[in-house]
């Protein structure tokens, strides 16, 4: 969550980090920003390999008109690091969740990486 002073409180799995350009970026913190920006729409982040920076972030969201530019502006306005801005924002009909209603992190990663593999094969 993001409080009134702009501080982000991270709750969740300790292993959900991406290493981008030598910096450790919390996927939960990126998801918290998306949750504040697109209230009422479920969003999730996964990392994929990147030749230049090691990893890059892909955010999937149910927010119908979500864009990377909108996320970038919101992140900057809230003092987030540039590395917390996903390389891509993809709108999906449904973000994978478990029967408990919690995010299905494995499903999110498979969805994002599956699309990545299709892009590579098509290129």
Tens of pLDDT, residue by residue, the chain (123 residues): 677 887 766 665 556 899 999 999 999 999 999 999 999 999 999 999 999 999 999 999 999 999 999 999 999 999 999 999 999 999 999 999 999 999 999 999 999 988 655 454 444
For the domain made up of 17-122, the CATH class stated in words is alpha beta
| Per-domain boundaries in the chain | 17-122
Q: In the beta sheet, which residues pair with residue 88?
A: 58
What does the angle CA 77 – CA 33 – CA 117 come to, to the nearest 5 degrees?
120
* pTM of this structure: 0.81
Q: DSSP letters along 83-115, please?
A: GGS-SEEEE-S---B-TTSSB-HHHHHHHHHHH
């Amino acid at each position: 969550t993001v409080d009134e002073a702009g501080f982000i409180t991270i709750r969740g799995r300790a292993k959900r980090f991406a290493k981008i350009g030598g910096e450790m970026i919390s996927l939960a913190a990126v998801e918290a920003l998306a949750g504040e920006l697109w209230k009422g729409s479920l969003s999730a982040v996964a990392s994929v390999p990147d030749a230049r920076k090691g990893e890059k972030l892909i955010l999937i969201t149910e927010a119908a008109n979500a864009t990377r530019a909108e996320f970038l502006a919101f992140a900057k306005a809230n003092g987030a690091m540039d590395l917390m801005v996903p390389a891509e924002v993809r709108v999906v009909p449904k973000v994978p969740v478990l029967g408990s209603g919690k995010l299905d992190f494995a499903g999110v990663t498979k969805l994002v990486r599956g699309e990545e593999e299709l892009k590579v094969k098509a290129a």
